[in-house]
Amino acid sequence: MKQLNVKLFADGAEKAGMLEMYKNPMIAGFTTNPTLMKKAGIINYKEFARDILSVIKDRPISFEVFSDDFAIMEKQALEIASWGPNVNVKIPITNTKAQSSFPLIDALAKEGVKLNVTAMMTIEQVKHVLPALGKGPGGYVSVFAGRIADAGIDPVPIMAETVRILKEYPHIELIWASPRELFNIIQADEIGCHIITATNDILKKLPTIGKDLTEFSLDTVKMFYNDARVAEFDI
């Protein structure tokens, strides 16, 4: 398999899947969000997070605030940050009213909270937040490349420009968020992106990187053939 420089983070909120990825030395960290937790059937946010952190103690993991009120967000952020030294607090770039999270990010950075500013999709958003985030002990900017692509826009120039901008902030790393396919890992690696976070179904395809395409073609033919036999199709 091709040697990758981009760090791989696992994105998910199912305990079994997270612990499975934790056993893989290639996985350098973890990210979660309220939507993934809802999908996984999580009921008690704090209980779930503390349970995961009782095992994952030595790799960074991001948990997100979920209020729409900045004062409450700040309280949540400080509580989440207290759960462990490997915790980054995810703060969305705005609330649902499109009000900037800059003042909150500025305050939390000054408090020494490690942050992950999330749900960004433009270079302007990244530039907007860096003066505040740069005051902190280090953190991430999560740019949702997959959603940019969903809008019919090539995310690579945006991600590459963000990498360039962050050269002035060596303690802040870019996360390529919401990848849609394994090839996005190659794209992230080629532009020098620091981190890509992906779901387990994508990460489990890592062994196919660099596979001979003729061999891959034959494997595909065999799969179709064997599945048809198992299904006992008849014409």
What is the rounded distance in angstroms from the CA atom of residue 15 to the CA atom of residue 119?
23
Residue 1 lies in a domain: no
Q: Which domain holds residue 53?
A: 7-209
Q: What is Dmax (Cα atoms) for the chain?
A: 70
Asked if residue 171 has pLDDT above 90, the reply is yes
213-221 mean pLDDT = 97
Instruction: Report the percent of the chain where pLDDT is more than 70.
Output: 99
- Residue 9, classed as helix, strand or coil, is strand
Residue 222 lies in a domain: no
Number of domains comprising the chain: 1
83-138 per-position pLDDT tens digit: 999 999 999 999 999 999 999 999 999 999 999 999 999 999 999 999 999 999 99
Residue 26 lies in a domain: yes
Residue 225 lies in a domain: no
66-83 per-position pLDDT tens digit: 999 999 999 999 999 999
The pLDDT, as a whole number, for residue 3 is 86
141-152 mean pLDDT = 98
Structure tokens, 46 = 């704090």
What is the rounded distance in angstroms from the CA atom of residue 115 to the CA atom of residue 137?
9
CATH classification at residue 195: 3.20.20.70
Residue 195 lies in a domain: yes
Residue 169 lies in a domain: yes
Instruction: Report the percent of the chain where pLDDT is more than 90.
Output: 99
- Cβ-based burial of 193 (10 A; exposed 0-12, middle 13-18, buried ≥19): buried
Residue 224 lies in a domain: no
Which residue is associated with the tokens 């891959």? Answer: 216
Closest CA to 169 of 130, 120, 143: 130
Asked if residue 1 has pLDDT above 70, the reply is no
3-10 mean pLDDT = 96
What is the rounded distance in angstroms from the CA atom of residue 155 to the CA atom of residue 122?
9
Angle between helices 45-53 and 15-22 (to 10 degrees): 20
Closest CA to 34 of 75, 73, 84: 73
Residue 219 lies in a domain: no
Are 129 and 102 in contact, with CB atoms under 8 Å apart? yes
Q: What ranges in 54-155 are assigned the alpha helix state H? A: 70-81, 102-110, 123-133, 145-150
What is the rounded distance in angstroms from the CA atom of residue 143 to the CA atom of residue 131?
17
Asked if residue 2 has pLDDT above 90, the reply is no
